[in-house]
Amino acid sequence: MTNGATLRELINGLPEAFAAAPRPARIDACPCCTTRAEIDLLLRTPRERLGPDELMHYATSALNTVGSPADLRYFAPRILQLVLTGELTVPDLEVVGIKLAQAGWRDWPEAPYLRRLLDALWSDVLGNADEWWDAEAVVCALAGADPDIGHRLAEWAHLATPTAVERLHEFVMTGGGKPRNAFWDKQGTPYRTFVDWLRGPDLRLAVEAAVLRTDDPVQLEQLSTVHDILTTFA
């Protein structure tokens, strides 16, 4: 698979990328929270045949009341497939990002592939208007997985596509240009990076530059609205 693979191709390639992740022989769990039958189902069912019903509880509770980093590595590709295709809506993508970080995904052999997947996800957010992505939710999820989000925000600030403009407009219109996602750690560096980006001059200058290079009336109206809201932070 090439470095230019699409998000869909990377999602489909997750099972192959994680082929070396060992299947767990057991999964430890709090007996008050997870039944033996639930664990047995996870252990006996081939990973790629596990669906939302089978994985929802595990994915939500992993590393809290069930499982370990080792078995999360095994189930991660299937969880990511289901979450990124919208088939698994609980847990939220933000929770999955946090759990991947807790499991130490950056030390996994599959880390380079996951980085490509996360990069492709962000590119899809900024370029694919047909997908359901909430830009702030994805930023928050990416921050949960990897706190270095400066390059993500810089890419957004390029406003290189109508979708990137529309997603920024949607964000500032629904939240007044302020982070509102419940999964932000407001004491964390990523949250402060996001707030500083929103309130700093670079984004306003990027919006002004985008105004000068477009003659599309819809984008011009969106950019004007965004600029008006951002200037209230100056």
How far is 87 from 80, CA to CA, in rounded Å?
Answer: 10
Measured N-to-C along each axis, helices 201-212 and 189-199 cross at an angle, to the nearest 10 degrees, of 50
pLDDT, tens only, 80-138: 999 999 999 999 999 999 999 999 999 999 999 999 999 999 999 999 999 989 999 99
Q: What is the percent of the chain with per-residue pLDDT over 70, rounded to a whole number?
A: 98
pTM for the structure as a whole:
0.94
What local confidence, expressed as pLDDT, does residue 4 receive?
Answer: 64
- Is the distance from CB of 123 to CB of 90 less than 8 angstroms? no
What local confidence, expressed as pLDDT, does residue 2 receive?
Answer: 38
Q: Say yes or no to pLDDT of 53 above 70.
A: yes
Element of type H or E holding 169: helix 162-175
